[in-house]
Amino acid sequence: MKRDSLVFDLIAREEDRQRRGIELIASENFTSKQVMEAAGSVLTNKYAEGLPGKRYYGGCEVVDKIEQIAIDRAKQLFGATWANVQPHSGAQANAAVFLACLKAGDAILGFDLSHGGHLTHGSPVNFSGKLYQANFYGVEEETGVIDYDKVEEKALAVQPKMIICGASAYSRDWDYQRLREIADEVGSLLLADISHPSGLIARGLLNDPLEHCHIVTTTTHKTLRGPRGGLILMREDFDNPWGLTTPKGEIKKMSSLLDMGVFPGTQGGPLEHIIAAKAIAFEEALSDEYMHYVVQVKKNASIMAEEFVSRGYQIISGGTDNHMMLIDLRNKELTGKLAEETLGKVDITINKNMVPFDTKSPFVTSGMRVGTAAVTTRGLKEDDMRKIVQLIDRALQNHSDEAILSKIKEEVNAWMVQFPLY
């Protein structure tokens, strides 16, 4: 077969884009070469519906071993007693949990999308808002921080069957203990979606959700630095609540319901090539090198936040506890859209983002979200964070001056050559 140069040339262009630019999208990272090698391996050829040792296909002896290694390493990394490594993505992991734990029409309580939550936590355009009765809590306008007394009030009012915590754009740590007390008070399950900070959580740099939450979901490709994918975890298995049964009427433990929520509930055959890549990433995340990495991610974010604040940028909640921050650009008379476009011109990649109580549309927005997971993998340190913010500030202040922007782009490209990628 002829090599498909059309696609491979584009892949080469994307590699070049990643190499020459400064990557600040909070949900992105650069995975290792061995993770990519596994993701591009012959395992992509294999069907393996079911779980290790209990498959609906022959020839699974090798992938059984690989998937079991991934499960064991995920459990070790997060101190869990149960894990399902098959979700194709974070959204799929959440879909499987919802299907396992809820009936259509049940009330749920999630973190508002426009305050930093995720689409799968009840947005009306997502299955979670279409199939369930979605309610939301948010941050306080003055502080940008969640007031847990208000979450309790809301939970008492709406009596959710599941409370969801975790976010795509919240720079503060979560009080999982308090949330569990609220969940227990209203007889609700508590799900933590730790997709963003999971790498920091795995290595003990943030509060541990597994200690208090019934179920935890995460993506594997953000701070965790693995392949694109999802993961579901529990510290302890428990009897299913509300007498939920399988379609055959059997009462099962939560672990079985969750396994069934993944397959056959929401997915077909697992991606064993990605599961192998997850296994490798979990082992990497258990290393001392990764521990240094996550410590640096956090340090870098805190210095970056400091530098933004010193230049008059308003960070929601005033700073960060994790790897990212959400910046309100209204006092700079900029929109998120303009910031994203301007920084794109100088090869700095960020994303526009709604800020709490935003009056602009999601296509325009009043904010931008930045994170340090990818640049830290690239080897950048504290002083580099200050320099990045200087470059951003210069570009945004001169957003209509193409000559200045093109000079900044040259600076960015020349600088990034010093941080080789792959």
Report how far residue 259's alpha carbon sits from residue 270's, in angstroms, rounded to the nearest whole number.
Answer: 12
Contact between 278 and 231 under an 8 Å Cβ cutoff? The reply is yes
Judge whether 113 is annotated as a binding position. yes
Contact between 165 and 191 under an 8 Å Cβ cutoff? The reply is yes
Does 196 bind ligand PLP (CB under 6 A)? Our answer is: yes
What are the C-alpha distances in Å from 168 to residues 102, 194, 195, 388?
Answer: 23, 9, 8, 22
Judge whether 160 is annotated as a binding position. no
| Binds ligand PLP (CB under 6 A): choice among 52, 90, 209, 261 | 90
Q: Tokens for 126?
A: 């997502």
Reported residue count of the chain is 422
Residue 295, C-beta contacts closer than 8 angstroms, at least 6 positions apart: 205
- Of the listed pieces 12-20, 55-63, 89-97, 333-341, which binds ligand PLP according to CB under 6 A? 89-97
Could you give the string, one character per residue 23-62, with x where binding to ligand PLP holds by CB under 6 A and - elsewhere? ----x-----------------------------------
Report how far residue 112's alpha carbon sits from residue 166's, in angstroms, rounded to the nearest whole number.
Answer: 11
Contact between 40 and 273 under an 8 Å Cβ cutoff? The reply is yes
Judge whether 109 is annotated as a binding position. no
Max Cα distance, the chain (Å): 69
In the 8-state DSSP scheme, what is residue 171? -
Does 215 bind ligand PLP (CB under 6 A)? Our answer is: no
User: By CB under 6 A, what part of segment 283-302 binds ligand PLP?
Assistant: none
Does 166 bind ligand PLP (CB under 6 A)? Our answer is: yes
Least CB distance to ligand PLP at residue 90 (A): 2
- R_g (Cα) of the chain, nearest Å: 22
| Binds ligand PLP (CB under 6 A): choice among 219, 255, 372, 377 | 219
Residues labelled as active-site residues: 47, 49, 193, 219, 222, 228
Judge whether 363 is annotated as a binding position. yes
User: By CB under 6 A, what part of segment 114-153 binds ligand PLP?
Assistant: 118, 120
Interface ranges with ligand PLP (CB under 6 A): 27, 89-91, 118, 120, 166-168, 193, 195-196, 219, 230
Residues annotated within the binding site for (6S)-5,6,7,8-tetrahydrofolate are 113, 117-119, 361-363
